[in-house]
Amino acid sequence: MPHDVTGEIHRYSEVHRGGKTIDVTKSVCNLVDLPVIVVPTQLTADGIASPVSVIRAHDGEVESRRARLPIGVIVDLDVVARSPVESVRAG
């Protein structure tokens, strides 16, 4: 776990991936009261900085749920530069 300059331990979740993984992580972090930092690997994920998660329920229905608003979003510009134009425009 990361420490700050005082040596204090900070607990948070960091998620690297696309939309589904980010949405599930934001929902779980909301349930357990844990901050989340999002590192999207594609810009087509439109909810990377939103307090809402869209999750498919067991019955197949898609639900919008309250989620943890990320405390940070980190974007790797090299990943964006290598992305297909269509996926950059979609996000």
Supply the pLDDT for residue 59: 92
How crowded is residue 37: how many other Cβ atoms within 10 Å of its Cβ? 16
Q: CB within 8 A of 35, min separation 6: which ones?
A: 11, 12, 13, 29, 68, 70, 71
Which pTM value belongs to this model? 0.72
Q: What is the pLDDT of residue 3?
A: 47
pLDDT one-digit tens code per residue, 6-16: 455 556 666 66
pLDDT digits (tens, 9 = 90+) for 21-73: 888 888 988 998 888 888 887 776 667 888 999 988 889 999 998 999 999 88
Kindly report the number of other CB atoms within 10 A of residue 15's CB atom: 20
